[in-house]
Homo-oligomer: A and B are copies of this chain.
Amino acid sequence: MLIKVVNPNTSREMTAVIEHAALTVAAHSTTIEAVTARMGPASIESHYDEALAVPGVLAEISGADGYVIACFGDPGLDAAREVADGPVAGIAEAAMHAAAFLGRGFTVVTTLARTAGRAWDLVDRYGMSRLCRRVRACEVPVLEIALAEKAVTEECRAAAAKDGCDAIVLGCAGMADLAARLTAELGLPVIDGVAAATLQVQSLVTMGLRTGSRHEYAPPPPKPYTGPLAEFGA
């Protein structure tokens, strides 16, 4: 089984973190192909960045048995499901669903406060309104998150102490490395979405399931595309 894990931003350092997280949990028989978006923003820290990261994500959705979109905003998830030849999971989606099995409530610890609105949108979309207690921000830019272990730890500690949550969801692919240590240290489950999404896709492929394509997620009608995005058209 081949799972393609797509980093929607163009930072190769973050792709390495993502690849490591996926490899750590995947079955021996599963091959992980971690790829970096070939177009778009260096990091995703706004609706603008996220919207413009989507073409780079969609360009990677082919050639595997399943796909992970490894940015906590789950950019392009619906569109990817239309064109993918296997199941697709976003890391926010997979992390929140995993948290649902681990208790009554979770807190999201993310990078910048300005992205909390998007996190709440996803909470709502994924049916997690009763579960999500709070979205906390470290106010660390995405590309510095790997160096900000202390800030993330402190925010997670605050969540454990004050939010009455049973689990913590890490709100950035760049935090993937921290989940195991934080779980041990804080005494509550801390979830990395890259691992969760990789295992989710692996499970769906194992069960022989992919996105239903009889209605909304049927392949898009082909048509001409114009300008810099012409490659995406038919």
Contacts and interface: CB of A to CB of B under 8 A. Distances in A.
Interface residues of A, number: 102
A51 B40 contact: no
Contact of A54 (B52, B101, B102): B52
List 8 tightest A-B contacts by C-beta distance, closest first. Answer: A39-B227, A127-B127, A166-B212, A46-B220, A228-B228, A199-B203, A47-B78, A117-B216
B79 A47 contact: yes
Nearest to A189: B209
Q: How many copies does the complex hold?
A: 6
Contact of A223 (B42, B100, B221): B42
Given A40-B227, A42-B226, 20 more contacts: A25-B203, A39-B227, A39-B230, A40-B226, A41-B223, A41-B233, A45-B221, A48-B58, A48-B79, A48-B83, A52-B58, A54-B54, A55-B229, A98-B207, A102-B209, A104-B216, A118-B216, A167-B212, A188-B212, A199-B206
Nearest to A165: B212
A175 interface: no
Nearest to A121: B125
A114 B79 CA distance: 12
B225 A103 contact: no
Interface in A181-234: 183, 187-189, 191-192, 195-196, 199-200, 202-204, 206-218, 220-221, 223-233
A220 B45 CA distance: 7
